[in-house]
């Protein structure tokens, strides 16, 4: 532990980041949900609300206090900021007999985030590996990640669908942050007891009013984080899981799940680690203009596996199996880590409430039987 901020100092932090040219994003209530939005002060944040999440359920309720980060996770993750749902690639214009191609404008935003959760930072680490770790790098993602500034806030009140503890990705952030804090109510005042994650974080905080924590505050942080880990609403054992899923592609449970699954793709859209995209080309009716853009895609889409004149995965059970097996098994072999960070969004935003932390143990029990 390295510093303590009072609530007014968070406003200073926002101002300092803006002075350095950052677009500052924080959790804001939008359309009865918490989302990352551009903010200019802490009064705009989701103060005094918490989320109630369950299989196929999300709602916001008032808290009995005015905690600023008293929720679990928002509707959308950091993926929306660093890997947007739609990205222009190029456009073309035909004038006379000349066809001119123009690359899309590539803004170079300096993104700062206040309130990132540990599970989201784990997802960001996965995207860094997938999109920047190979021979071919995603240039747009690189621009957004370069010089980004992340302020994480540890979870102290996990939700019903959270299982980051069993995935080793939370509730406290361990990497990919510049500043990390725990929100505490001490003697009626809100304090943010934090630690540094980078030299850049230290330099920024030199311009913000802060002090060193005492032993009581350090103990309160440890107790809050430990209590959150014990209070997780779900868990998933990953011991032997990649091998199990890879060797049970014909398990009858896939068909059972498919009877409930709508193949809507909500789980892949809400997931902070899914990164598949498709290419969309459009043209004007007279052929004078055309454009290409990248859009998020989903392995639940029929077109996603379209090869040789037909979809390769034409059934819902095949598509659900592809998603979950790649996420929890193939991903490990391909990228060296699970593709799940335990945020529980796929459970919350599934319209029929399919919960794979419950389905997988059932599959294993049927095999044992």
Is 37's pLDDT higher than 80? Answer: yes
Torsion of CA 31, 295, 77, 231, to 10 degrees: 100
pLDDT tens-digit profile of 146-192?
Answer: 999 999 999 999 989 999 999 999 999 999 999 999 999 998 899 99
Which is nearest to 218 in space by CA: 176, 256, 179, 184?
184
Q: What is the pLDDT of residue 50?
A: 94
Cα–Cα distance for residue pair 273/197, rounded to 1 Å:
22
CA angle, 287 as apex, 281 and 289 as ends, to 5°?
A: 60
Q: What is the pLDDT of residue 369?
A: 62
Q: What is the mean pLDDT of residues 344-364?
A: 95
The residues pairing with 299 across neighbouring beta strands, listed in sequence order, are: none
Least confident of 30-39, 238-247, 305-314: 305-314
User: Two tokens at 316?
Assistant: 């819902």
Average pLDDT, the chain: 93
pLDDT tens-digit profile of 297-339?
Answer: 999 988 887 788 777 788 999 999 999 999 999 999 989 999 9
Is 12's pLDDT higher than 90? Answer: yes
- Banded pLDDT at 78 (limits 50, 70, 90): very high
Kindly list the distances between the CA atom of residue 170 and the CA atoms of 53, 59, 152, 175, 258, in Å, as whole numbers in the listed order.
Answer: 18, 23, 11, 11, 31
Cα–Cα distance for residue pair 115/74, rounded to 1 Å:
10
Sign of CA dihedral 73, 78, 81, 83: negative
Is 9's pLDDT higher than 70? Answer: yes
Is 118's pLDDT higher than 90? Answer: yes
Residue 55 region by backbone torsions, left for phi larger than 0, else alpha for psi between -120 and 50, else beta = beta
- Residue whose token pair is 């014909």: 250
Is 367's pLDDT higher than 90? Answer: no
Which is nearest to 162 in space by CA: 53, 46, 287, 279?
53
Q: What is the pLDDT of residue 82?
A: 95
Higher per-residue confidence, 120 vs 96: 120
Work out the number of other CB atoms within 10 angstroms of the CB of residue 103. Answer: 9
User: Two tokens at 367?
Assistant: 């095999």
Cα–Cα distance for residue pair 243/330, rounded to 1 Å:
9
With residues binned 3-state (H G I as helix, E B as strand, rest as coil), the percentages for the chain, rounded to 5, are 35, 25, 40
Would you kindly state where each structural domain of the chain is located, as residue ranges? 3-84+109-230, 241-274+299-368
3 state DSSP class of 263: coil
Q: What is the pLDDT of residue 366?
A: 79
| Ramachandran angles phi, psi of 80, nearest 5° | -65, -30
Kindly list the distances between the CA atom of residue 298 and the CA atoms of 7, 45, 265, 306, 330, in Å, as whole numbers in the listed order.
Answer: 41, 31, 6, 12, 16
Question: Which are the contacts of 359, defined by CB distance < 8 A and separation ≥ 6?
Answer: 253, 257
- Banded pLDDT at 231 (limits 50, 70, 90): confident
Q: Exposed (0-12), middle (13-18) or buried (19+): which is 96, by Cβ within 10 Å?
A: exposed
Q: What is the pLDDT of residue 258?
A: 92
> Is-contact 173 121, C-beta < 8 A?
yes
> Is-contact 29 44, C-beta < 8 A?
no
- Banded pLDDT at 287 (limits 50, 70, 90): confident
Cα–Cα distance for residue pair 160/255, rounded to 1 Å:
27
């Amino acid at each position: 532990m390295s510093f303590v901020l009072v609530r007014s100092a968070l406003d200073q932090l926002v101002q300092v980041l803006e002075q350095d040219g950052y677009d500052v994003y924080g959790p804001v209530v939008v359309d009865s949900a918490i989302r990352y939005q551009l903010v200019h002060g802490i009064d705009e944040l989701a103060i005094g609300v918490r989320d109630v999440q369950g299989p196929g359920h999300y709602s916001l309720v008032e808290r009995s206090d005015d905690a600023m980060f008293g929720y679990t996770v928002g509707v959308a993750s950091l993926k929306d900021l660093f890997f947007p749902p739609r990205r222009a690639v190029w456009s073309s214009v035909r004038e006379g007999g000349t066809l001119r191609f123009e690359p899309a404008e590539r803004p170079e935003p300096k993104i700062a985030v206040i309130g990132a959760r540990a599970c989201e930072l784990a997802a960001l680490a996965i995207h860094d590996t997938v999109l920047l770790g190979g021979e071919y790098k995603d240039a747009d993602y690189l621009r957004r990640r370069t010089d980004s500034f992340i302020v994480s806030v540890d979870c102290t009140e996990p939700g019903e669908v959270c299982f980051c503890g069993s995935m080793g990705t939370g509730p406290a952030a361990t990497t990919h942050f510049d500043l990390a804090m725990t929100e505490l109510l001490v003697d009626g005042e809100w304090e943010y007891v934090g630690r540094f994650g980078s030299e850049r974080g230290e330099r920024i905080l030199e311009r913000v009013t802060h002090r060193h924590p005492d032993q009581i505050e350090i103990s309160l942080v440890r107790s809050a984080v430990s209590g959150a880990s014990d209070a997780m609403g779900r868990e998933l054992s990953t011991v032997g899981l990649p091998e199990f899923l890879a060797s049970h592609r014909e398990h009858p449970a896939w068909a059972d799940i498919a009877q409930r699954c709508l193949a809507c793709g909500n789980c892949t859209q809400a997931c902070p680690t899914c990164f598949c995209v498709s290419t969309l080309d459009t043209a004007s009716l007279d052929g004078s203009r055309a454009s290409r853009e990248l859009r998020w895609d989903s392995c639940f889409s029929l077109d996603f596996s379209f090869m040789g004149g037909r979809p390769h995965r034409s059934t819902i059970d095949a598509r659900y199996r592809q998603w979950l097996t790649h996420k929890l098994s193939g991903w490990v072999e391909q990228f060296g880590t699970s593709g799940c960070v335990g945020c529980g969004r796929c459970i919350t935003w599934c319209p029929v409430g399919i919960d794979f932390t419950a389905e997988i143990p059932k599959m294993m029990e049927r095999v044992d039987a």
